[in-house]
Amino acid sequence: MKIAEIMTTEVALAAPDESLQRAADTMLSKDVGCLPVGDKGKLVGMLTDRDITIRGVARGLGADATVSQVMNTQVRYCYQDQDVDDVARNMAELQVRRLPVVSRDKDLVGIVSLADFAHSGETRSADQLMKGVAVPHH
């Protein structure tokens, strides 16, 4: 099974130049803890609620600071045509619960999360991923 078959295609995005307040409002309304950051259809970063708190607020940035000031630019991602088992293994090794999904042209096409694996029926992949992300971070 390929990631394209289980990923979520309706993904809320943040723009690099939008305010942290607007991005946080999007997170609140969509009930998500992270947003891919896109620029002209390309994935350029990831923004988490933790980025806003630690890289933004804790450093004295206000709600009008931009996403690009606090986003993580070292983005991990997977390809839509990758095998579900391979992506689960990679996510477990990285200890992440979600990954942006891109086409081979690096266009953002979706996001895959732990929940997507759990609902996919791919129990081996879901179990492998759960074991990897359940490891306490040090």
* pTM, entire model: 0.79
pLDDT tens, position by position, 29-85: 999 889 999 998 788 999 999 999 999 999 999 999 999 999 999 889 999 999 998
Q: CA 1, CA 87: separation in Å to the nearest integer?
A: 11
Q: CA 21, CA 83: separation in Å to the nearest integer?
A: 37
Note whether 32 and 41 are within 8 A (CB): no
Tell me what pLDDT residue 138 has.
43
3-134: CATH homologous superfamily?
Answer: CBS-domain (3.10.580.10)
pLDDT tens, position by position, 80-131: 999 998 998 898 888 888 899 999 988 889 999 888 877 777 666 656 666 6
- Amino acid identity of residue 79, one-letter, is Y
CB-facing half-sphere around the CA of 133: CA atoms within 13 A: 18
Where along the chain do its domains lie? 3-134
Q: Which of 28, 12, 2 is nearest to 110 (CA)?
A: 12
In the block, tokens 């295609």 appear at 9
